[in-house]
Amino acid sequence: MNCTLLVTGATGLLGRPVLRACAAVPAWRVTGTAFRRTGPGLERVDLAQTGAIPAFLDRLAPTVIIHAAAERRPDVSEKDPDGTQRLNVGATAALAQWAAAHGAFLIYISSDYVFDGTRAPYTPASPTHPINAYGQSKLDGEHAVQAAGRDYAVLRVPILYGEVEALDESPVTVLAKNMLNARPGERLAMENWATRYPTHTGDVAAVLRQMVAHKLAHPDFSGVFHWSGAEAMTKYGMALAFAPLLPFDPARLVPDNAPPAGAPRPKDCHLDASALESLGIGQRTPFASALPAILAPHLVR
Ligand SMILES: NC(=O)c1ccc[n+]([C@@H]2O[C@H](COP(=O)([O-])OP(=O)(O)OC[C@H]3O[C@@H](n4cnc5c(N)ncnc54)[C@H](OP(=O)(O)O)[C@@H]3O)[C@@H](O)[C@H]2O)c1
């Protein structure tokens, strides 16, 4: 079925594979937005200038919007809560209001950080309780979407990794960068406190493509959904998986059992993805099998 799809944040870690996955569907006309980066087929827009959003959307006239643009670095959000609110909440509200007024379906990408991490696993109906400014902004974004109308989907996802432009682009692959940059023989402390479920951006992109296809076939589809990888790991565990590929002697990795410094982080936000699974939606790439292709462009041989 046809649709005119707009992907915001199409230059980002998640937006790139989402744009690729959706553009591969012949019946869909797909455009992405960029801000600081550019590229062929991308529309440049500053979504923090919320007043300009309606005219921008009038011009593109999307019937489906996947809203992935955001400030997603918790430590930046903690230091700049106003800037974060402008993009994560103000822009989301403007997109959602336009979508509701024009009969477009908005999929808003949210985060497992809307939970406090004390009562995993979380279903879409579990009570939310963010413990840092980033998580609060993502929850406020959800509320803005829900206040605008009923024809929306919220997709919460946890820590993401996948094809990166630089290793420090993802909070997962940055661990490999730190290992590669260590001095010879240096031992590296790796956080072993929070349990995470690293989730491949290619899998989230496939899930979003399936959600759009499902919506086009089932107009009643809407609500809050979760997608997550299934492998529970701390950052120390992820570093152990990187070690043989770099290579890096795993004996030099020191598990650090203290909570991380900086913005407070939840301990375990495992997301229950069974609502989408029950619709036949889903894709999971095993963590270890994804790493060689992700690392290859960044390793000097
Ligand atoms: N990364 C994770 O581990 C993670 C985990 C859970 C949830 N999420 C959520 O997943 C979504 C995608 O995150 P991501 O990791 O792909 O983020 P990202 O890599 O930081 O990309 C952010 C995107 O937002 C765009 N952007 C930033 N400021 C903008 C502005 N003022 N106007 C318009 N566009 C702007 C960027 O464009 P330019 O690059 O062109 O400037 C980029 O395309 C977000 O909603 C995030 O909250 C991410």
pLDDT at 151 over 90: yes
pLDDT tens profile 258-294: 999 988 999 999 999 999 999 999 999 999 999 999 9
pLDDT reported for residue 259: 95
pLDDT at 232 over 90: yes
Residue 213: exposure state from Cβ atoms within 10 A (0-12, 13-18, ≥19):
middle
Q: Which atom of ligand 1 is nearest to the CA of 169?
A: 19
- Indicate whether residue 36 lines ligand 1 (CB < 6 A): yes
Pick from 33-47, 99-113, 211-225, 273-287: least confident: 33-47
Q: How confident is the model at residue 300 (pLDDT cuts 50, 70, 90)?
A: confident
Is residue 35 a contact partner of residue 43, using CB atoms and an 8 Å limit? no
pLDDT tens profile 43-91: 999 999 999 999 999 999 999 999 999 999 999 999 999 999 999 999 9
Average confidence score pLDDT of the chain = 97
- Indicate whether residue 72 lines ligand 1 (CB < 6 A): yes
Q: What sign has the CA pseudo-torsion 283, 210, 142, 109?
A: positive
Q: What percent of the chain is modeled with pLDDT above 90?
A: 97
pLDDT reported for residue 41: 82
Place of tokens 């998640």: 14
- Indicate whether residue 157 lines ligand 1 (CB < 6 A): yes
* Alpha carbons 48 and 38: distance in angstroms, whole number: 17
pLDDT at 104 over 90: yes
- Indicate whether residue 47 lines ligand 1 (CB < 6 A): yes
* Alpha carbons 117 and 269: distance in angstroms, whole number: 5
pLDDT at 252 over 70: yes
Residue 104: exposure state from Cβ atoms within 10 A (0-12, 13-18, ≥19):
buried
Q: Please name the amino acid found at residue 237.
A: G
Q: Which domains does the chain have, with CATH numbers?
A: 3-162+198-231+267-285 (3.40.50.720), 167-194+232-264 (no CATH)
109 bridge partner residues: 155
The residue whose CA has the least distance to atom 17 of ligand 1 is 12
Q: Please name the amino acid found at residue 100.
A: A
pTM, entire model: 0.98
* Alpha carbons 74 and 81: distance in angstroms, whole number: 10
